[in-house]
Chain A
Amino acid sequence: MLLRDIAHSRTGDKGNISNISVIAKSEKYWPLIVKEITEEVVADHFENLILGDVVRFILPNIQSLNFVLFQSLGGGVTQSLALDAHGKCFSSVILEIEIFNEDLINKD
């Protein structure tokens, strides 16, 4: 199972910092998302794309995570040599994370 099956995402940029939301498609996926999509998993998944830290914020009311990726945009949109200087495509990348503990999905 991929994160894309149970969550959606949007990317934003401020300076050289990218933020990526991970939003549960349904409440029943929320515990699994909180457990599986950690700072370490995201940092590993983005490997060579980011130079700085990854910080996760949890918003239980809206069953969402917000990841902040420091030094991740080649200097930021005003300077970067990248084709996607905003890092708009990162939301599609995070949704490719594989989920293994499907038994954590709330059945009721």
Chain B
Amino acid sequence: MNVLNHRILRIGTGAGFSGDRIEPAVELCEKGDIDYLVFECLAERTIALAQLEKLSNPNGGYDKLLEQRMVAVLPICYKKNIKIITNMGAANPLAASKKVQEVARSLGIHGLKIATIMGDDVADKIDKKNCLLDTTQASISDLGDKFISANAYIGVESIVDALAQNADVIITGRASDPSMFLAPQIYEFGWAMDDWVKLGRGTIIGHMLECAGQVTGGYFSDPGQKEVPNLAELGFPLAEIDFEGNAVITKVEGSGGIVSEATCKEQLLYEIHDPKSYLQPDVIADFSNVIIERVGENRVAITGGSGYARTDKLKVSIGYDDSWVGEGQISYAGLGCVERGKQAIKIIEKRISLTEINCTETRGDLIGMNAILGEHGNNFANPYEIRVRFAARCPDKFNAERICQEVESLYLNGPSGGGGVVTSFKKIIAVASTLIPKQLVDTNVKILES
């Protein structure tokens, strides 16, 4: 193992979600002097959708932008020996690795070692009768043939193994987001797998980095209150990490965005509940005593993190076929537009009962008025234009489409002056969570070479 006691490890984020921009990743490779590039591309639901895709195409089920991203970064990563870690494997990490192998060869890159981390798919291992969903407390077997997928949030072990086998690119499925950042720290610094304080710190650094532009000024700007320069060319973050697990978060000089104490505080608290107890497969990270301190222009130090022994459970995302949603929108403008919008919603509600459209939940909104916050707030001044949005949950596509037809029918059958109808219907793949014993999950590494 490679112990960098006195070196600084530099990890950059190449993506914070599956559709993220690609140029900032290239910029980090070219100008960030990074050792690792991590692409985090897997949201809760993405993996269930990917499992469905894999069912219809055994070579599919991985991230749609994988090829484009690899074409953009592989040549420079290979040249500079930047290791890539990503969960773009989604439901089919092995197919994703084969695609990376193919891209590498087509670019004339030979000898690239691509590691696939297998074992997060626990659909065949999980005790469906006794595992309860966190949302409904029903058992997984109650879902019957609506059950789609079960993927465990796996930790660092196999990623560290792959690094020890000199992998250049590591492709995972449902790895926990921070684990992709923690694994290279464990490997490079030689941290013990039960050094909970360091694992906690490394997890916190991963948490700061995993949403990419969200720590460099994305999802932050509020003109007049919080200014961010050049969001159109937002730079993605990199962390300079020492062997104690302290880090400086920064970005490439000259890139858009800002790294400040304020952006770092917002990201530290993003999607966490109890700051003392951030449950991860590798460690329980403790955010409660973290210190965030500006140490230079666009440079913020993160220290004071800690951690405790992990639990013996792993979280599992269960994807299932839930329902269909039909939705339609129509606009009204000028005097009386709000009244006409309200009338339109009433007409649809009545049509649903008159024509017996099968739906279990409906929602009528006036966009510009109450679509986001309901009847909350005091500002009910009449707007100059309003957009009606009507959505309903239905058991099947047929009924969802009938909702769309009812909204469209408002053109000829509704209030005066309705325009710009847009309708859509979609299948709802829902995701719930459950916990399983850690020993049930057995991950392993498979290496391909280009």
CB-CB contacts of A1-29 with B at 8 A, as 1s and 0s?
00010001110111111010101010000
Q: Is B391 within 8 A of A81, CB to CB?
A: yes
Q: What residue in chain B is nearest A46 (Cβ atoms)?
A: B376
- 30 A-B pairs within 8 Å (CB atoms) are namely A8-B226, A10-B267, A14-B273, A15-B44, A15-B432, A19-B273, A21-B269, A23-B266, A46-B376, A47-B376, A48-B375, A59-B287, A61-B290, A61-B292, A62-B265, A62-B290, A64-B265, A64-B269, A77-B45, A78-B44, A78-B45, A79-B322, A81-B361, A83-B372, A83-B389, A84-B371, A84-B372, A93-B373, A93-B376, A96-B377
With both chains docked as a complex, state the minimum distance between the C-beta of A104 and any C-beta of chain B, in angstroms.
21
CB contact list, A35-69 vs B, under 8 A? 46-49, 55, 57, 59, 61-62, 64, 66, 68
Could you tell me the distance between the alpha carbons of A16 and B292 in the complex, rounded to whole angstroms?
A: 29
CB contact list, B317-341 vs A, under 8 A? 322-323, 325
Q: Is B271 within 8 A of A61, CB to CB?
A: no
A89: chain B residues within 8 A (beta carbon):
372-373
A31 within 8 A of B: no
Q: Is A78 within 8 A of B429, CB to CB?
A: yes
Q: Is A23 within 8 A of B431, CB to CB?
A: no
Check A78/B431 contact, CB under 8 A, given A59-B287, A83-B372, A93-B376: yes
Q: Which residue of B270, B361, B391 is within 8 Å of A10 (Cβ)? A: B270
Could you tell me the distance between the alpha carbons of A14 and B315 in the complex, rounded to whole angstroms?
A: 13
Could you tell me the distance between the alpha carbons of A9 and B270 in the complex, rounded to whole angstroms?
A: 10
A interface, size bucket: 35 or more
Check A57/B322 contact, CB under 8 A, given A8-B226, A78-B44, A79-B430: no
Q: Is A23 within 8 A of B275, CB to CB?
A: no
CB-CB contacts of A88-101 with B at 8 A, as 1s and 0s?
01000100100000
Supplied contacts A10-B269, A12-B272, A68-B274, 10 more A-B pairs, CB within 8 Å: A8-B225, A8-B266, A15-B44, A16-B135, A57-B288, A61-B288, A78-B322, A78-B430, A79-B322, A84-B372
Check A21/B266 contact, CB under 8 A, given A14-B271, A47-B376, A61-B290: yes
B71 within 8 A of A: no
With both chains docked as a complex, state the minimum distance between the C-beta of A38 and any C-beta of chain B, in angstroms.
18
Check A76/B365 contact, CB under 8 A, given A64-B269, A81-B325: no
Check A66/B372 contact, CB under 8 A, given A8-B226, A78-B45: no
B270: chain A residues within 8 A (beta carbon):
10, 12, 19, 21
Could you tell me the distance between the alpha carbons of A61 and B289 in the complex, rounded to whole angstroms?
A: 6
Q: What residue in chain A is nearest B363 (Cβ atoms)?
A: A81
Could you tell me the distance between the alpha carbons of A68 and B270 in the complex, rounded to whole angstroms?
A: 11
Total number of B residues with any Cβ neighbor in A under 8 Å: 53
Q: Which 10 A-B pairs have the closest CB atoms?
A: A12-B271, A21-B269, A10-B266, A81-B363, A81-B391, A12-B270, A78-B430, A78-B431, A78-B45, A83-B371
B291: chain A residues within 8 A (beta carbon):
61-62
CB-CB contacts of B344-380 with A at 8 A, as 1s and 0s?
0000000000000000011101010001111111000
Could you tell me the distance between the alpha carbons of A77 and B317 in the complex, rounded to whole angstroms?
A: 14
A84: chain B residues within 8 A (beta carbon):
371-372
Q: Is A66 within 8 A of B269, CB to CB?
A: yes
Q: Which residue of A15, A55, A66, A75 is within 8 Å of B272 (Cβ)? A: A66
B433 within 8 A of A: yes
A82 within 8 A of B: yes
B262 within 8 A of A: yes
Q: Is A48 within 8 A of B376, CB to CB?
A: yes
B393 within 8 A of A: yes
Could you tell me the distance between the alpha carbons of A25 and B265 in the complex, rounded to whole angstroms?
A: 11
B33: chain A residues within 8 A (beta carbon):
none
Q: What residue in chain A is nearest B371 (Cβ atoms)?
A: A83
Q: What residue in chain B is nearest A89 (Cβ atoms)?
A: B372
A16: chain B residues within 8 A (beta carbon):
135
A78: chain B residues within 8 A (beta carbon):
44-45, 322, 428-431
CB contact list, B165-195 vs A, under 8 A? none
Q: Is A61 within 8 A of B304, CB to CB?
A: yes
Could you tell me the distance between the alpha carbons of A2 and B362 in the complex, rounded to whole angstroms?
A: 34
With both chains docked as a complex, state the minimum distance between the C-beta of B198 and any C-beta of chain A, in angstroms.
19
Q: Is B433 within 8 A of A8, CB to CB?
A: no
With both chains docked as a complex, state the minimum distance between the C-beta of A17 and any C-beta of chain B, in angstroms.
7
Check A75/B269 contact, CB under 8 A, given A15-B433, A23-B262, A49-B374: no
B428: chain A residues within 8 A (beta carbon):
78-79
